[in-house]
Amino acid sequence: MSIKKRSVCDLDIIDLAYGGKGLAKPDGFPVFVDRCVPGDRVRVKISKKKKSWAEARLIQILSPSSLRQTPRCRYADFCGGCKWQSIPYETQLDYKKQHVVQSLAHIGGLAHVPVLDVIPSDPVFEYRNKMEFSCSARRWLM
């Protein structure tokens, strides 16, 4: 499959990348897609193409993953603050631990360092430990 900017293609999401983007690898070429869950089959439009990776915009979920759940936040698909709500909380913790393990191996060269499980939050919802504000000339949620 040839990945070109502005092309539309169907992809299978195989993993979650650091930051919560879905990862597809058509012919081994990494493509990152927001709002996707591992196991989703999606139609996307390539928005950015680099030598060794690409980003794409989700057009349609053709076949949802068995992991996919409806986000509790009604703005989850728009604001970006709830990227992980489309998968069960326990699965989120597993992926976050996996990201630490992968980062230690790839960035730090520490492939065999033991990593403890992520400590779950109680409560899972209705708490905040970080806020990021965005500005835009267009209306987003209202």
Cα 109 → chain centroid: 24
pLDDT top residue among 58 and 124: 58
- The CB density around residue 132, as the number of other CB atoms within 10 Å, is 7
Q: Amino acid letter at 8? A: V
Single pTM value for the model: 0.82
Residues ≥6 apart with Cβ < 8 Å to 128: none
pLDDT at 18: 84
pLDDT for the residue 140: 62
pLDDT, tens only, 53-111: 999 999 999 999 999 999 988 888 777 778 889 999 999 999 999 999 999 999 989 99
- What is the number of residues in the chain? 142
CA distances from 92 to 21, 31, 54, 83, 106 (A): 12, 20, 24, 10, 21
What is the full DSSP assignment across 36-90? --TT-EEEEEEEEE-SS-EEEEEEEEEE--TT----SSTTHHHHSTTTTTTS-HH
pLDDT single digits (tens) 3-17: 899 999 999 999 999
pLDDT at residue number 136: 74
pLDDT at position 142, please? Answer: 54
Three-state DSSP class for residue 96: helix
